[in-house]
Amino acid sequence: MMPSRRRPGGRAGPSLWELASAFGLISLTGFGGGQRAQIRRQVVSRKHWITDQDFIEALEVAELLPGPNVLNLAVFIGQRLRGVPGAVVSLIAGSVPPFLLVLVAGAFYFSKFNTPLVRSALSGATAAAVGLTLANALELTAATRKRPLNLVIIAATVVSVTYFKLSLVLTLLIFGGLSMVVYAWSKRKTTMPTR
C-alpha cells in the first residue's frame, strides 16, 4: 500500500487505491448531473479530502475546459491530492468501468439476441433519448434567454451546423469567437466608468 502523503493541513491525503475505489464506484453508479453531487459528498462531506471551496473551484475548471465534466473533476481532484499519478489513477477509475459496460451493451447489440422485439424496444429507447436531449436543449435555452444575443447565436449555430454542415472547429471559432468578443466588449463597457 502506498504511504499517504501529508498535506499542509496536517491531514493525511488518500492513497492511490482509495482514489481509484472512490472514483471507480462513482463512475459505476452515477448518471449525468447526479454524479457531481455524489463526488462532492464523497470527497468533501464524507472523506474530507478537499474543502468545499476547493471543490467549487475544481468544478469551475472542469466545466470550463473541454471534456466530460465528471471525468475532468476526477482528474483535477486526483491531481490535487496525489499529483500526476493521482490524476492518471482517477482518469482510469472514472473511464474504464463505463467503457467496459458500454462494450457489454455493444456485445449484446451485435449478438443474435438482438431480435426484432429488442429492436422495437431500442427504437422506443432512441425516441426517449431524443426526448431527453430536446428537454436539455429547452432547459438550457430558457436559462439563457435573458441575453437576446444568445438566442441569435443559438439560432445561427443550429442552422449552420444542421443544414450547412459547418464543422465543429469553425462553429466554435466563428460563433464562439463572435459571442466571446461581444461579451468581453460589453463587460469592459460596463466596468469602464468605475475606473
> Contacts with another protein in 128-157 (CB under 8 A)?
128-141, 144, 147, 149-151, 153-157
Distance CA 55, CA 18 (A): 18
113 is a contact residue toward another protein (CB under 8 A): no
Q: Rule CB under 8 A: choose which of 37, 48, 99, 113 binds another protein.
A: 99
84 is a contact residue toward another protein (CB under 8 A): yes
Stretch that binds another protein, among 3-11, 12-20, 40-48, 102-110 (CB under 8 A): 102-110
Instruction: Report, in Å, the least distance between residue 62 CB and another protein.
Output: 7
Distance CA 120, CA 106 (A): 17
Collapsing DSSP states into helix, strand and coil, what is residue 147? coil
Cβ atoms 73, 41 nearer than 8 A: no
Stretch that binds another protein, among 4-12, 13-21, 41-49, 124-132 (CB under 8 A): 124-132
Cβ atoms 54, 127 nearer than 8 A: no
Nearest partner of 142 among 131, 154, 132, judged by Cα: 154
Q: What nine digits make up the cell of 24?
A: 471507480
Instruction: Report, in Å, the least distance between residue 113 CB and another protein.
Output: 14
Q: Rule CB under 8 A: choose which of 1, 8, 53, 105 binds another protein.
A: 105
- Comparison of 12 and 182: residue with beta carbon closer to another protein: 182
8 is a contact residue toward another protein (CB under 8 A): no
Instruction: Report, in Å, the least distance between residue 188 CB and another protein.
Output: 10
121 is a contact residue toward another protein (CB under 8 A): yes
Cβ atoms 76, 62 nearer than 8 A: yes
- Comparison of 4 and 160: residue with beta carbon closer to another protein: 160
Instruction: Report, in Å, the least distance between residue 171 CB and another protein.
Output: 6
Instruction: Report, in Å, the least distance between residue 42 CB and another protein.
Output: 15
Nearest partner of 50 among 84, 19, 71, judged by Cα: 19
Q: Which residues pair with 12 in a beta bridge?
A: 6
- Comparison of 12 and 138: residue with beta carbon closer to another protein: 138
Q: Which residues pair with 6 in a beta bridge?
A: 12
Count of helix runs (H) and strand runs (E) in the chain = 8, 0
